[in-house]
Chain A
Amino acid sequence: MKRFWVAGPLCLALIGAAYPGAAQDVAATVQARHAHFKQIGVAMKGLSEQMKSPAPSLADVRGYAQRLDELAPQLPSWFPKGSGPESGQKTHSKADVWQKPDEFAKDAAAFAAQTHKLNVAALSGNLAAVAAQAPAVSAACKTCHQAFRERED
C-alpha cells in the first residue's frame, strides 16, 4: 500500500510534466524542421545567384554545395512520427510523409544523392559541372514537394 502512495503521485506528476513537455517537443520539432528547410532554401538561393552571376565565386559555390550535402542526409530525421498535420502544429507536411514512408524515404535518398553529386562537382572546381547538376537538385526538391508538401502558403 505504501508503494502505491509513492508510485501513484509520482506517476501522475511525471505524466503532468510530460504532457505539456510533449506538446512543446512537437512545436520545437516543427520549428527546427522549418529552420532546416530555411537553411536549405538559403543555400539554394545563394547557389543559383552565384550560377547566374557573370563572375561566380567558387568559394561561395563550394560553401553552398557543402552545406546542402551536409543537410540533405539529415532530412528524414526532421520528420519524427507525430510531427505531422495531426499534431495541430502549423505545418505543410502532408500526412503521406508518415503513411507512405517508403516513397518519402526514396525521395529523400534521391535528393541526398543529387546534392552529393553537386558537392563533388563543386569540389572539382568545375563550375560548368555545378551548373549542369543544379537543375537535378531542384528537380529533387520539386518531386518531393509535389508529393509531400501542401501547396497552400
Chain B
Amino acid sequence: MAPAPRRLTGETATVRVWDGPIRIFHWSLAVLLPLAWWTAQQGQMGWHRLIGYAIAGLLAFRLWWGVAGGSTARFAGFVKGPRTVARYAASLFRGSEPGPPGHNPMGGWSVLALLTLLIAEVGLGLFSVDVDGEASGPLADRVSFDAGRFAAHWHHLLFNGLLALIGLHLCAIAFYAAVKRDNLIGPMLTGVGARGEGFRPAARWRLWAGLALAGGVALALAKGLKF
C-alpha cells in the first residue's frame, strides 16, 4: 500500500520515529539552553556553570547516540551528500513523498550545525574568564588572562549564532506544519509519527553506556579535568 499523504489533522500516528533518549535529549536541551542564557544575564554564574555541565553531558550523550543509538539518531543515517540535499531542496515546495523516518536531508545538516555550535559554545565557556574575577570556566586556569577573555568574547558572539540557528530551526518546523502540513513536533514529543517505516531501536546496554559517558564527561569538566 502506498503511504497516504501526511496531514496535520486526521493522521494516525503509528510508526516509531524517535527513541526515548533522543526525545529526552531534545527537550532537556530546549529547557536548559534558555536557562543558560537567563542565568548568565542574571549573573548567576554558579547556576550557569552547572547548566553548562549538564549541556556538556547531553552533548556527549548525543555524539555517542549518533553512532550507537536508534536508527534515526545515527549520523550515518541522516547526514546526506550534497546531491541528495539539493534534490530534496528542489522538491521542498512540491508535495514530496514521505521518506524514511527521522531527519530529512536538509534537517540533517541543520542538526549537525546545531550540535557543532553547541559543542563550540560549551568549549569556549570552559575557558572563559569573566570581568568580575569571580566565575571563570573550570579550564580557564590552563590559559592566560587574555586567552580567557578571548574565549569569553567568542562565547558571547557564538551565542548569537546559536540564537540565529535556533530561530531557523523553529521556522523550519513552522514551515513544515503550515505549508507542508507535516507535524514534526508530535513525534518529537511522543516518539511516534506517520512518516515512513523502518525504525530500528538500539540495544539497552548502549543506553547505559551513553548515560555513564554523559555523567562522566559532565563530572570531569566540572572538576576541571583534575582528578
Contact = CB atoms under 8 A, between A and B. Distances in A.
Interface centre among B43, B129, B131, B145 (most CB of A within 10 A): B131
Interface residues of A, number: 20
Contacts of B134: 48, 135, 138-139, 141-142
Interface in A47-66: 47-49, 52
Given A146-B43, A153-B153, A45 B145 contact: yes
A41 B141 contact: no
Interface of A, secondary structure class, is: helix
Contacts of A142: 43, 132, 134
Interface residues of B, number: 17
Contacts of B149: 41
A125 to B, nearest CB: 22
Contacts of A139: 134
B133 A138 contact: yes
Interface string B117-132: 0000000000001011
A153 B133 contact: no
B136 interface: yes
Contacts of B148: 45
Given A138-B134, A141-B134, A45 B43 contact: no
A137 B141 contact: no
Interface string A23-59: 0000000000000001011101101110010000000
Given A45-B148, A52-B141, A153-B153, A141 B131 contact: yes
A135 B140 CA distance: 18
Interface of B: 43, 129, 131-134, 136, 140-141, 145-146, 148-149, 152-153, 156-157
7 contacts: A41-B131, A41-B133, A41-B145, A45-B136, A45-B148, A153-B153, A153-B156
